[in-house]
Amino acid sequence: MANSFFNSFLNGILGSHATRVDLDADTIKMYLHDSGAGGTPTAATNDFYNDLSAGLVGTAYTLAAKTIGTAGVGVFDNTTDPAPAFSSVSGATVEALVFFKDTGTPATSDLICFFDTATGLPLTPNGGDVNVTFNASGIFKV
């Protein structure tokens, strides 16, 4: 596979349905995903967090320093690299880092994008913390 947006997120931006994700105002989280338990993230068919939630390893991290357009036009970023993003991770091996909007209800929490190709992935947890370093150019660009 490759890093990708979920199709439903992109289609939402284009107006195929009411825009459901406000990256600035909504609670945006990322989590470590076990594809063996939750299935491999699939851009074309996964739309809400409940499609993948069985693969959650540890606890999702809430992005607390979001920016839009600051790192570049159309760029979503988080100005700090969470350290640690995930504490004392000791679950299954992780194949992907998944971003989603958390509404509190998995069936209405829109999936945004996933990274399954990045330094450190796949990650075999050692029981310690896991830091995430975002690229200097931002997390993603639309």
**Interacting residues with another protein (CB under 8 A):** 1-5, 35-37, 39-40, 42, 72, 75, 83-84, 88-93, 95, 97, 113, 115-142
Q: Which CB, 12 or 125, lies closer to another protein?
A: 125
C-alpha distances (whole Å) from 84 to each of 42, 44, 51, 67, 89 are 27, 31, 26, 20, 10
Pick from 101, 87, 1: which is nearest to 43 by CA?
1
Smallest gap from Cβ 1 to another protein, in A, equals 5
Q: Which CB, 105 or 137, lies closer to another protein?
A: 137
Smallest gap from Cβ 82 to another protein, in A, equals 10
* Helix/strand/coil for 3: coil
